[in-house]
Structures are given as structure tokens and as C-alpha cells.
A and B are shown apart, each in its own frame.
Chain A
Amino acid sequence: MQSRRFLKLAAVLGLALGVAASHPSIAQTVGDAPVRGGILNVNIPTEPVGLNSGINTTMFIGEVASKIQEGLIAFDADLQPVPSLATQWEVSPDGLTVSFDLRKGVKWHDGKDFTAADVAYTLKEVWQKLHPFGRSAFGNVTKVETPNSHRIILTLSAPAPYLLNYINAYGAPVLPRHLYEGTDVVNNPYNQKPVGTGPFVFKEWVKGSHIRLERNPDYWKAGQPFLDGIIVKFIPDVSARVVALQSGEVDVVVGNALPVTSLRQFEDKSRYTINLIDGNYLATIAFAQFNVRSAPLNDKRVRQAFAHAVDRNALLKVVYLGYGKIATGPVPSSVTKYYTPDTRQYAFDPKRAAQLLDEAGYKAGANGKRFRLRLIHDGAAGSPLSTRTAEFIKQALAKVGVDVELQAPDFATMLRHVFTDQDYDILVSSMHRLPDPTLGVQRIFWTQNIRKGVPWTNGSGYSNPHLDAIMEQAAKEPDEQRRKAQIREWQQIVQEDVPLLELVEPVWITVSSARFKKLALQADGLFSSYADAWLEPRK
């Protein structure tokens, strides 16, 4: 018993040391002997509001819609683009023209042919106008040409090197033009009963209960999908999800729907698989964001002191139970092309923290206290780890004489406090950095993105014209080497100024029955089409 506990502890520590990405159970999901038939029961944490990722990038929509709708490309396990609706693509040397050859013989679920006109329509009317990230991703596209029914050529005003890093079924799903053209896209009824080209056809949606998808018999990939259908079940209660997986009522639980504290119950590899790479595409980092508009957080030394005061190794071990990695900067390590650890790092050092606070003029008073701050977090808004992270930070800062008052309002109230009223000191939350820093990271630090009333913009109020220039240059730099150098400098500046204290790169955890198999893993596995998924027969 004792030795077993020790082994478990060792396993957790092993994860903490950064071997999470190569966890052995990943290999378990991949199989090579597909079995046809069967219904897969999938659990996602929250019922989506619609099924069109083209107008709303909420993850829960993408987790379902990606089975029905497809993008031009998908991503493999290393975030490299692989063909989907586009069979090949080409970027001109000056970066100003991008062309795609589209797959032939693809049919929409209602029997109509899929053509370049669908892509052109979706790009111009949906991705560019309505998609939350598409407006920046496709912002440079000035002309869309379709020389024939299966080729599309984009002309750009400036290079958009990030384009191919984003446009999968979640980032840019292609919609059927014949059902959307001339309608109010946001209120189109097909957002609720989508028609796509994907391996599964939408069948029914019983609100509050489930969504049912059926095999697409005419799917373009011969022999796929293997499954007869998918039932997506919404189980709002965390503990009920644990039981549902244990009792076999669901086969797969995606998107961190199970708390890390429950994962011990799914360690038995003969029965369950824990997959840790499905969300690498999102490149999420949990952070503590400082409102730099007013004292004392307008002083860089105070923010640096806080970075020294928080022991992120302990945070990863105690709160995340090792499921993640220490974040070293604004670009997560999974974005291998642009990530650099060569930035200013803040080792856990309370003495140095106290010294920096003294230097900034915030000496401890007679009672040992320096000042008091409010910390708002999204723990009550569906991120239980934020609650514990906030508590951890409160304790850490108390040790250097800073009093922290915790606030945990609901989601809408939190957004108002932080982004509209700007009435907060520290925000603990997490944000997707996406596979390209221009799309996912620039928005956090860019002066032009300080936008009152708009969620997930530059909420810290941080403004650095020198950094702005670098980020704007990197956004249109066609030369890959120069772009890498620009993004490296960007990371160094941010780590020096710490408008955000980057805490942990959490992993997105998919827990499934060991019977659930796929031909290949994907870094955007949360938004996998499941065309290549199957259920092994019960033993």
C-alpha cells in the first residue's frame, strides 16, 4: 500500500517535471485495426448554443460541429497542416497569394455538390465579417478568385503567415452557400441543424439532453467513418460525468470535463485512456493579469516582485496535480515554431520579491503589510482550477506582505468588471494563444486592442509602442526566419515588463474508455472529425 502510494506520487512528480507531453497513455488511443459499426457516446461539459463555429468560436460548438462541418485543412499531432477539403495549397514567395486546390466529388449532406463558390462565399460573408478571429485571420484578404469550380486563389494586401496555422474545421468551417446566401447568417436556422460535408450527418438535437449524429454514407474518404453514429450527451454535473464514464454510459469525455482530482480513478490502462494532446492547437496558458493602469501595479518592479513571489512549480504540483507545464512566457512551448525559453525568468525567490517591493517604495508597515489588492477570477464561471490558483496566489503574496481579497463572480459580471469597468487589480483566468502568436498573443499586449467593453482584448491596459511596432511587423513578415526573430524579441519584452504573469500551460485532457481508438492523434483533437475513430468490441 505504502509503496503503491509512493509510485503514484512519483508518477505525479514525473508529470510535473515536464514529461506530460510524452505520457505513455497517448500511444494507447492510436490503433491500426478499425472496427466498423457502433455508436460512440461523447460527453462535453456544456451544451453549445448553436452548431456553427463560423460565427461563434465557443469550444463546445466546435467540439460537436467539427464532426459535421469541415475546414480546408486539419492538423496532425505536431500541428502541421494536413489535407481536408483542400487537397493541396501554395503560398507565393512574396506571401501575397495563397491558392487552394479543393477536393473533387465532395457532396453536402443534402446532396448538393461542394465547390469553390462555397468556400468563397463563406470566406467573404462569414469568416471575414462574423468570425471572432477570422476578422484578423482573413483581414488581409482583398480578393477571392475561383478560376474553376475546385480552385480558389486569395490575394492579400500584406502577407498573412498565420493563415495556414489556423484554418481547420474549428477556425474556418466551410458553410453551404446554397443554404446561407442572402440570409441573416447569425439567425439562419441551419446554425441549429447544420448541413456540412463531414463524416457525420446532423440528426436531432434534444435541448438539455443530447445531439445525435449519424454516419454520412457518402463521405469522401472511402471506408470512413467507421462509427455508425455519435451521441453527444450534456452532463452538467462534474461528479455525474465521472460516474457516466465509469458505468459505460459515455465512452469519451473531452475538453477537461473531468476534474484533475478525479483522474486517479481512470489510471487503469486496461479500462481507460487519458489523452493529453487533444488541445495543443489551442495552446492555452493560465495567467494572472495585472491592471497596470494604476498604482501599485503600474510599477514594473511590483509586477516582477509578484513573479518572484509565486512558486509556479508548487502551483503546478498542488493545483494542477502535474497536468501541465510551467509557462515561461506569452507563447506556449507547444507552438514550437516561435516559442523561446530565452527570456527573463523569475525564479521563486520571496526575498528578491520583498526587495523589489521595497525598491518600488512599498515598504512593509508596522503590521508587516504593504498594500491590499483585489483578485478577480473565473473559478465560479466554470474553471475550478482558477479558484485554487487564486487561493494559491493569495497565500504566496501574503508571504511578501501583500493582502489579497478574492472575488469570484459569475462569467458576465467578471467580464464587465475586467473589460468594461476596468475595475479590478488582478485577473486569474486562462486564454487560448492559438498556433500563431499574431492571432492569439498579439491581442493581449497590443495598444490598439485596449477596447473598453470587449471581452478578451488587452485588459491589462499595457501599452508599449516599441512592442506594438514589432508585433505589427511580425504580422506581415513573409520571411520565416525574420518573423521568428521578431516574435522572440516580442517574448523577451513582455517577460521583462510582465503585464501578465504567465503561470501554467495546462493540458486539455480527454478521458476515454480504452475501447475508443483512432488511426491518428491530432493536436486539434478536440475538434477532430472522428471519421477515423472506432470502438473496439467489448471483451
Chain B
Amino acid sequence: MTRNRIPAVARFLRRRIWQVVPVVFGIALLNFLILQLAPGDVVDVLAGEAGAATPEYMAQLRASFGLDRPLPVQLAYYLKNTAMLDLGFSFRQNMPVLQLILERLPATLLLMIAAMGCAVVSGVVLGVISARFVHRAADRAVSVFVLVTYALPTFWLGLMAIVLFSARLGWLPSSGMTDIGADLGGFEYLWDVARHTVLPALSLATFYLAVYTKLVRTAMLEYFGADFIRTARAKGATETRITLFHALRNALLPLMTMLGLQLGSILSGAVLVESVFSWPGLGRLAFESILARDFNLLLGILLFSSVMVTILNIFVDVVYAVLDPRIEL
């Protein structure tokens, strides 16, 4: 059975990857058109920040940035470049967009994976505890805990964590991804990065934690009453085995659905946490490019993340099939 599933996965991937192309192209087109609605352009902002300018200088900048061309021409250029996987140049940052994104990507991925991993693991653990001891003290405690963390704004929680763990206790650094002056190598460097990651990752994780806990709890409770669990009990399986191998495995499916949806939003959701912790990630880059009307950069980030989200969703579909053999790819 395992043997003939592999070609199925390959067939599925081939089909889905072809579907990605028009989706991403459509996203690129929409992005471009929507951004035209924002008042002002990158030259306005550059001149505004500089404190002075002349009309000639601004016209000269617009011409060199290609902003003086009619909109359909700009769109045609943009789509052509997108088709050739050329994300363009950020005139504000004076760097190719792809280079800017790739510089920030490791930080974003680290924060995202650490936060998501933390949220999923603790969400599952807390969800299982809740379901196993439903309506008892442990369940109530978990419930209150996750609701409080969900209700607190992440940026506020982050700030309070900084005040407590950095300013008062001095245990953890408050900002950045590494200790910049230190010039560490090897293991010390990894340890340094890990110390810097703790507070932002935990702050970001709290937001997702509640959703995962509640999802797992609800799904598990549903399965506890299902026929196959009764069967498992009848054949004498221990309660631990039933919880972990029978109920939990099934309860992971709704969790995967939610995770797939949220992987996309975590890029944008991280803006606040990145700002509070001065984390050099993509969220802040995107936010700053909106304020600066640096649309080449913003379009690049949007396109890049839409590709990432589409690919992650395909991956989630594959994971479904692995978790639940009944699902056909």
C-alpha cells in the first residue's frame, strides 16, 4: 500500500504546481492594481523626508524610477518581470528586492518556526490535558490560561516580557537577533541567537496557542464518544493509548487545517512582534515599505509570500494524507 502511494503523491504535486502558476499571477495582478489606490508615491516620501526638493528633481527621480510611464505600461513591465522571476529593484533601499527579501528571510523563518512549533506543541499538550480531564480543575485552568493569553495583545505582552525579563531581571536580551558587538562563533553564536529568540517567539506563540488548544480539545472530545474509541476500549487498550494513538491522531486533522491557513498570516502577523523586539524580519520590511510607498519592494514581498503560502498549503495537503490514509490525494 505504501509503495503505490508514492506515485500518487508525485502525480498530485505535478497537478498542483501547475495550478500555482495562474494563482500567483492573479495575485500579482491584484497586488499591483490595489497598490495604485494609495495616495502618494516613493518620490513624495523621499522628498518629504529630505525636507526640501524642486519639481525638476522630483520629475528626474520619477523618470529614473519609471514612475512617469503610463499605468498600463508600468503594469506590463511588472508582469513581464514577474514572469521572468525578476522581483525588481527597491529605489528607496538602493538594492535588488530579492536580495532584501533573502537577507530578512532567515530571521522571519526562525521566528515563525520557533513560534509555530511552540504554539503547536503546547497547544496539543494543553488540548489533550483539557480533553482528558474535561470539566475538572486542570481543564478550567488551561481554559483560563489560554483565553488570557489570547485576549492580551501580543505587542503588549511582548513589552511586558521585555520589562520583566530584560529590564528588571536582566535574564534575556530585549532586542535584535544577536548580540551585535560580541563577534561570537559556533556554539556560542547559536546560544546567543536562541536567547534572543525566546521572548519574541513566546510572545508570538501566545496568540496561536489558544486556537490550537481549543481545536484539539474539541476534536478529542468528539472522538472520545466515537464508535472506534469504544471498540478500542472494548478490546482493552489503556486510556493513555486511546488518547494518544486513537483520538489525538484524528484530532490533528483540524489542527493541520488551521495551521495551513495561519502559516500565511504569520508573515503579516509578526509585524508587531518584530517591531517590539527589533527583530529584522520580513513583516517590518513590508510595513515600512508601505509607509515609504516602496511598491517594488512591497510587491516583491507580497509575491514572495504568496508563493510561499501556496507551496505550504500543498505541503499541508500531503501531510493530511499521511495522517489519514482515507484521504485521497
Contact = CB atoms under 8 A, between A and B. Distances in A.
A100 interface: no
Interface centre among B94, B163, B293 (most CB of A within 10 A): B94
B149 interface: no
Contacts of A443: 52
A234 B177 CA distance: 12
Interface centre among A49, A130, A210, A244 (most CB of B within 10 A): A49
B280 A208 contact: yes
A143 B230 CA distance: 97
Interface in B13-69: 38-41, 44-55, 57-58, 61, 64
A216 interface: no
A57 B51 contact: yes
A413 B175 contact: no
Nearest to A282: B51
B278 A454 contact: no
A58 B170 CA distance: 35
B181 A56 contact: no
Interface string B254-292: 000000000000000000000111101100110010111
Contact of A415 (B45, B93, B94, B162): B45
A231 B180 contact: yes
Interface in A371-398: 381
Given A186-B64, A243-B166, A413-B40, A455 B48 contact: yes
A206 B103 CA distance: 8
B132 interface: no
Nearest to B163: A243
Contacts of A409: 39
B293 A49 contact: no
Contacts of A229: 181
A33 interface: no
A328 interface: no
Interface in B143-176: 155, 159, 162-163, 166-167, 170, 173-176
B104 A454 contact: no
A234 B51 contact: no
B39 to A, nearest CB: 4
A370 interface: no
B9 interface: no
B107 interface: yes
B319 interface: no
Interface string A125-138: 00000101101100
Contacts of B45: 411-412, 415
B95 interface: yes
A112 interface: no
A412 B44 contact: yes
Contacts of B64: 186-187
A453 B166 CA distance: 46
B60 to A, nearest CB: 9
A233 B275 contact: no
Nearest to A208: B280
A240 interface: yes
Given A249-B175, A412-B44, A233 B180 contact: yes
B100 interface: yes
A239 B50 contact: no
B57 A208 contact: no
- Size band of the A side of the interface? 35 or more
Contacts of B58: 453-454
B195 interface: no
A535 to B, nearest CB: 12
A240 B175 contact: yes
Given A235-B278, A243-B166, A247-B166, A210 B176 contact: yes
B92 interface: yes
A340 interface: no
Contacts of B55: 451, 453-454
A208 B285 contact: yes
Contact of B278 (A39, A234, A246, A456): A234
B94 A411 contact: no
Nearest to B278: A235
Contacts of B174: 240, 243-244, 247, 249
Contacts of A136: 52
A304 interface: no
A191 B93 CA distance: 10
A209 B38 CA distance: 28
Interface string B73-97: 0000000000000000000111100
Contact of A207 (B177, B280, B292): B280
Contacts of B181: 39, 41, 229, 231
B67 to A, nearest CB: 13
Given A235-B278, A236-B278, A240-B174, 20 more contacts: A49-B92, A57-B52, A130-B57, A189-B94, A206-B103, A207-B95, A208-B107, A208-B284, A209-B176, A233-B180, A233-B278, A240-B278, A244-B174, A247-B170, A412-B39, A412-B45, A416-B39, A416-B40, A417-B39, A431-B51
Interface of B: 38-41, 44-55, 57-58, 61, 64, 92-95, 100, 103-104, 107, 155, 159, 162-163, 166-167, 170, 173-177, 180-181, 275-278, 280-281, 284-285, 288, 290-293
- For the complex of A and B, list the 9 residue pairs with the smallest distance between their C-beta atoms, beginning with the closest: A412-B40, A208-B280, A455-B48, A132-B52, A209-B280, A58-B49, A132-B50, A416-B39, A416-B40
Interface of A: 39, 41, 47, 49-50, 56-58, 130, 132-133, 135-136, 186-187, 189, 191-192, 206-210, 212, 229, 231, 233-237, 239-240, 243-244, 246-247, 249, 381, 409-413, 415-417, 420, 431-432, 443, 451, 453-456
22 contacts: A49-B46, A49-B292, A132-B53, A135-B54, A207-B104, A212-B180, A233-B175, A237-B155, A240-B276, A247-B167, A410-B291, A411-B49, A412-B39, A412-B40, A415-B45, A417-B39, A432-B51, A451-B55, A454-B47, A455-B44, A456-B48, A456-B51
